[in-house]
Structure 1
Amino acid sequence: MTIELRRHTDLTAEVRQDLLDVYADVRAPLLHLANYRVEAFAERLDRHATEPGFGLVLGYDGDVPIGYAYSNTAEAGDQYWKYMVEPLPDGYTDTPVLVIKEIGVRAPWRGTGTARRIHNELLAHRVEDRVTLMVNPLARDGKVQALYETWG
């Protein structure tokens, strides 16, 4: 399997549509929920694309977009930190932190290492000292969080 990874720091119409197509497929079982609707995701994506440090990696198998991950930079006063359940260690936000906002891979490419490759490419050229990702510990009975923990 030859997967091409494409990095982006801006959101062109074509790139946006490819990401939305993958998102709709990945989140299909949840699209009936308001927060997971494609329109709701598109609004968040458009906002995130204008925020500091936006970066996106899209994976393609031929011309077919198959997976994505995108991120932003968060600093001490960023609203992102208000969602933390546990208090952050002192000094955690003294320097900018890379926040992975979303990762998704279409079902036929799951379990192939594609998500990890996309994740690693997203991080490869970043300058932040730390990276964080919020994940629902119940997602897929804890398997999603366990997978991310194996990535460090």
Structure 2
Amino acid sequence: MAHQLREVGLDFIATAPVRLVFVQEMSAPPEVVYRALAEDVPGWEEWFAAVTLARSTGDGSSREIHLKGGGRFQETILAAKNPEMYAYRVDVANAPGARAIAEEWRLTPAGAGTHLRWTFAADGTAAFRAVTKLGRAGLGRAFRDAVRTLDRRLAARGA
């Protein structure tokens, strides 16, 4: 059952009780990676294997995301700073025990490519926090696989 999460801002990403941070290098430049993250929301279904539906809602200031396994999220964009950062919070989720979730994708130039850092920040019941921490390896693997797939996709497009 979906429930409303606590409204949080960008500061939550640095102060959340659970913070999982993952990094990966990409060959595509930050501007191109940013466009894939922030402007091609439906494209997430193509490169992030866990995502089964991704669409902008409203005037583009929010998103709807569905995941394999049944996860459903309504999100609000917190920051869209081309080409440096893309961040959002989850407003409604069907994740049991979740109280607040925000994610940040930070992009910095790395030679001709991009150093990409994804931070998953969350708060919830003790059980939710424990399960989230236990899921770190799986989230990390999903992130790395998604970024590699995105990098190949962008290279094939000549980006």
Higher relative contact order (CA closer than 8 Å, sequence separation 6+): 2
- Higher helix proportion, which one? 1
Query: TM-score, normalised on structure 1?
Result: 0.31
- Higher strand proportion, which one? 2
